[in-house]
Structures are given as C-alpha cells and as structure tokens.
A = this chain, B = another copy of it.
Amino acid sequence: MLGLRNYWYPVLWGRRLGKRPVPITLCGERLVLIRDGGRAYALQDRCAHRGVPLSIHAGPLGNGVSARQVFPGTWTCGYHGWTYDLKTGTLVAALTDGPDSPICGKVRIQSYPVEERLGLLWVYVGEVGPPPVEDDIPQELLTQPHFMGGRISTREGNWRYATENAIDEAHPRFLHREAVWRYFKQPAPAWNRSRLEYPEDGKYLAYIPYDVHREDDYPGLGKWPQQPWYQHGGRNAQQIAIRLPGMIRVRQPGFTIYSWFVPIDAQHHRYVQTAVKTGTGPRLWAFRAYYWLYMRWVNQHMFNSQDAVMIRGMDSPPERLFRPDLSIIGWRMMCEAARGRGKAVASPAAGVGSEAVELAGVNAGSEGRQG
C-alpha cells in the first residue's frame, strides 16, 4: 500500500529546491531534499542521535533555529551539530564533540539517489541497485525538444486508487461525461469492448477499444446517454497507456499528457501532472498560451478534480469488478512483475484474455492485491 519500491519517482520541481531543505515523504519514508553546489541530494529526515528531523526549522520566535549547511558537501543537524556527508549519509563530524569525536564514521543514515531531469527531481527508494533514471522516464521526453506545463499536488487516497482510476477505462463514460473539458468534443461512448496491448516491448499497457456503442437501450430502463448539443464534436482519438511504477500517458491530437501517481503514505499520494508538446517555434508558443490560459484550469484542475473526488471516496476491498475493469486487472498483473519483486507471478506481456473478462463479469467479490 506504500507503493512500489525500486523505481525513480518525480517528487518536486527542481526550481523549488533552493537554500532551504524540503522534507517529503515517499513510499512511507521521510526524507529531506537538499541542494548543494547545484546538485540535489536526499537524506533520511532523521538525525541518528536523538531523532530530530534534519529539515527542522523554527519560525521567528525560535529565531533562526534550523538545520543548515556548515561545510560544503555536508548537512548539519540543528540540534547538536551532527554533520553528515550528503552523498553517503555518513557522519563526518559531531561538531560539539570536537574533531576527535570517536563517533565519527561509525554512524550512517540512509541516503537516496536523486537526479534532475525535465526540470523535475527524481528520487529512488529501493533495495536493488538503481538503474539509470532514464529507464523510468519516457524516452521521447529525453530526446525531443518540447514545452512542458505542469502541476504537482498532494491528494487524499492511496496511490493505488489513483493509478487504477487513471487506467480505468469505464469511468470517463460516466464520471467525466459532463466535464467542461469534454464540451464540443466527441463524447465518450456508452460502452465498448477492449483488448489489452503491451506496446514498446511490454513497457506500457494500453487498451484498444472495439465494438463501440455511442448510445444504447437498456431493457426496462430506457436510452442512455442523452447527448446535448454541446456534447458533440469530431472524432478525438486519444491513446491511453500506463507504465510502472505509476505513470499514465494520454496522447491527444497535438499534445500528450503525462501524469505520475507518487506514493506518499497509505492515505495520500502526490499527483504530478504535465502536458507536453514536442517541436519548436510558434506552434510551441501557441500551445504554451493554450496551456496557461485554458488547459491548466479546465483540464488539469477542473477535470481531474472529478477524479480526485472518487479517489478520495474509494474504499476497497471488498470490490466487485466488471468487464471494463479488464484494464485494471492488466495493470495489477503488471504490478506483480514490478522491478525488485523477484519472479513475476504472471508475465504482463502474456495475453490476458477472455478468462479474465469472464472473471470480471461474474466474480464473487475479488480481493484487491497489495501493491
């Protein structure tokens, strides 16, 4: 429930880390981000001596009490001057015990790998040695020039609810039907069937719709949905794909949305939203204006607030899945094969076919797997 370890997660805009340390919680671990000589570092946010946070900071009444940098390449606890190496977490000095303090070199706190890419700070929490950060960033973002607009927010609800909501194929058909963001676009269908695909060598999971019904007649009830005039529009083929440890990519005509669901603790996650347009020149400037004047509010704020309400309200297990939850089942199988999990219990690239569909349709109360 505290999240998949052994992955790189984006946690903060790089420009937000300056002289002041920034405490964050990631996969249930409290750590502190510190910038030194242009580079970012992360240490466990707890001094080994008496347990005070290394990010400790007091307001004006405590006039200026805070942990701080006394010597380059180190960070010093504000209580007794214990001084840790930023790279290794090793205690290199206990200032108030003199240069010959016998405890130096005998204490180490956890340090975490940090990288800065795309203007974001990426942190790695895990037991197996970290792969290059590029392994956990979509390739196209690292190689193509682009504009990226984004927001980072903290939301209620376990990261698993947030991620499963993102790959959940059915909810836009009902939850988002009347969102302003969907006005004058082709509405979501009433329902359709889908099959799963694993593009880019199985790195991503995607669902491919077929047998699409824009409207239908429900026996004994009536027709659904009603489609008001402002909910019509041309075809708007978006492609949705998800990858570990919890990133969704939504390709829209002209731009792409990348979002990360970053575990904080059992009840909270960090929501990193971006909108990216590749290219250069005037079209990029036009998109920048579109992003700041329209999309940031109508999509990233209003539209996704609808999801936030559901993620906050979710409460499962117990749960009862239905046919469109095939994509959620596919995602859960992908999680079973996550990095650092030993042997995968099911190959994500293997076909998850009709059996799973039947299972979803008639299941008798499946229990959610722990992630």
- Residues of A that sit less than 8 Å from B by CB: 46, 48-53, 56, 58, 61-65, 70-71, 74, 76, 78-81, 83, 92-99, 101-103, 106-107, 168, 170-171, 173-175, 178-180, 190-191, 213, 216-222, 224-225, 301-302, 305-306, 308-310, 313-316, 318-324, 358, 361-362
Q: Is the CB of B190 within 8 A of A320?
A: no
Residues A78 and B175 in contact, CB atoms below 8 Å apart: yes
Once A46-B315, A61-B305, A175-B65 are accepted as A-B contacts, the answer to whether A103 and B221 lie under 8 Å apart by CB is no
Q: How far is the CA of A323 from the CA of B97 in the complex (A)?
A: 7
A319 partner residues in chain B, CB cutoff 8 A: 48-51
| Neighbouring B residues of A178 by C-beta, 8 Å | 63-64
Q: For the complex formed, measure the closest distance between the CB of A371 and the CB atoms of chain B, giving whole angstroms.
A: 15
Copies per assembly: 3
Contact indicator A361/B191 (Cβ below 8 Å): no
Given known A52-B313, A81-B174, contact A217–B302 (CB-CB < 8 A): no
Residues of B within 8 A of A81 (CB): 170, 173-174, 224
Instruction: Enumerate 27 A-B pairs (CB-CB under 8 Å) in ascending A order.
Output: A49-B319, A51-B313, A51-B316, A56-B309, A56-B313, A58-B305, A62-B302, A63-B178, A64-B178, A70-B224, A71-B224, A79-B171, A79-B175, A80-B322, A80-B324, A92-B221, A95-B190, A95-B218, A95-B225, A96-B174, A97-B191, A98-B216, A99-B218, A99-B219, A102-B362, A103-B320, A103-B361
Q: Is the CB–CB distance between A98 and B190 below 8 Å?
A: yes
Sorted from nearest, which 7 A-B pairs have the closest CB atoms?
A51-B315, A81-B174, A102-B361, A98-B191, A96-B170, A52-B313, A96-B173
Task: Give chain A's interface secondary structure class.
Answer: loop
In the complex, what's the smallest C-beta–C-beta distance from A42 to chain B, in angstroms? 19
A323 to B96, CA, bound (A): 10
Contacts of A308 in B (CB 8 A): 62
In the complex the two chains form, what is the Cα distance from A51 to B312 in whole Å? Answer: 11
Instruction: Please name the residue on chain B nearest to A224 by beta carbon.
Output: B95
CB–CB B97/A49 < 8 A? no
- Report the Cα distance A81→B224, complex, angstroms: 10
